[in-house]
Amino acid sequence: MHSNAMPPEMSGPAGGIPEATVARLPVYLRALYGLAERGISTVASEELAAAAGVNSAKLRKDLSHLGSYGIRGVGYDVDYLVYQVSRTLGLTQDWPVVIVGVGNLGRALANYGGFVSRGFTISGMLDCDPAIVGSRIARLTVRHVDELEVVVARHRVAIGVIATPASSAQAVCDRLVAAGVTSILNFAPLVLSVPEGVDVRKVDLSIELQILAFHAQRRSAARSVPEVAVNGVHSRPPVSTELAAQAQA
């Protein structure tokens, strides 16, 4: 058994493609979709890199793993690159998804239109609350979680989304894995233990907010540090020095 204690990561290179590259491919794909929607047919590596928030050298190296090198002086064909990235990510086929936990988050996920356009079909929604079971959400009837195994088998579910409270997340995960689901997206604030061969991606919004709070605090501290005159020259002490002084106060 292993657990996803660290931020979501893959267990090894996919088809020889480095993990870091795989993690950036969806970002490139999003940028490419934006270019296609604007009617742009070719794009230079610099422009695509800027849209994706990476440097052009890294982008060219990433795309070379897909066998795409672009044309000197012309750039990349947007439509073909969309196909290449989509094929590499496995998005040229439909992936049935089941959502377990139909609270506010589960409902929001079910109603998100971006899944279908990327090849993900919400095939089932499960909950244990009698007030929710039987209701219609996003054209689907919410089933009782007792039917999890039946829903997974009937729709050949490939990906399970856990949007339950932490107290029930591991039990739900165990049942998904036992039913044959090998890819899990976990929104519960809990580290899941899964057997080898099962991929878990963890999304914890509170952690992301805490990281942002850390950076906001540093910026605030930097702005509030008074200038100190040294040999007639005004300067500010390093932020780390100020934070240390605050800790000792």
Express each pLDDT in 76-89 by its tens digit: 999 999 999 999 99
Compute CA distances 56 → 17, 52, 67, 147, 249, whole Å. 18, 10, 16, 49, 46
Give the structural domain span for 74. Answer: 2-89
pLDDT at residue 241, as a whole number: 46
Structural tokens at position 204: 């914890």
**Residue 12 — pLDDT band, cuts 50, 70, 90?**
very low
Supply the CATH number for residue 60's domain. Answer: 1.10.10.10
Whether the per-residue pLDDT at 3 is higher than 80: the answer is no
- Residue 129's pLDDT band, with cuts at 50, 70 and 90, is very high
Say whether both 115 and 167 belong to one domain: yes
Q: What is the mean pLDDT of residues 232-249?
A: 50
pLDDT (0 to 100) of residue 87:
92
131 and 195 part of one domain: yes
In a domain, 120, yes or no: yes
Please check whether residues 46 and 125 belong to one and the same domain: no
CA 222 to CA 233: how far, in whole Å? 18
Angle between the N-to-C axes of helices 19-37 and 78-89, in degrees from 0 to 180, rounded to the nearest 10: 140
pTM: 0.73
- From 56, 89, 122, the end of a domain falls on 89
In a domain, 85, yes or no: yes
Q: Are 141 and 191 in the same domain?
A: yes
Query: 3-class SS at 122?
Result: strand
pLDDT score of 139 more than 70:
yes
103 and 64 inside one domain: no
User: Mean pLDDT across the stretch 56-61?
Assistant: 94
In a domain, 62, yes or no: yes
199 and 221 in a single domain? The answer is: no
Same domain, 99 and 47: no
Pick the range with the lowest mean pLDDT from 21-30, 39-48, 64-73, 181-190. Answer: 64-73
Number of structural domains in the chain: 3
Q: Is 107 found in the same domain as 184?
A: yes
115 and 185 in a single domain? The answer is: yes
Give the strand pairing for 159-162 and 95-100.
Answer: parallel
| 179 and 225 both lie in a single domain | no
Query: pLDDT-based confidence at 32, cuts 50/70/90?
Result: very high
Has residue 14 been placed in a domain?
yes
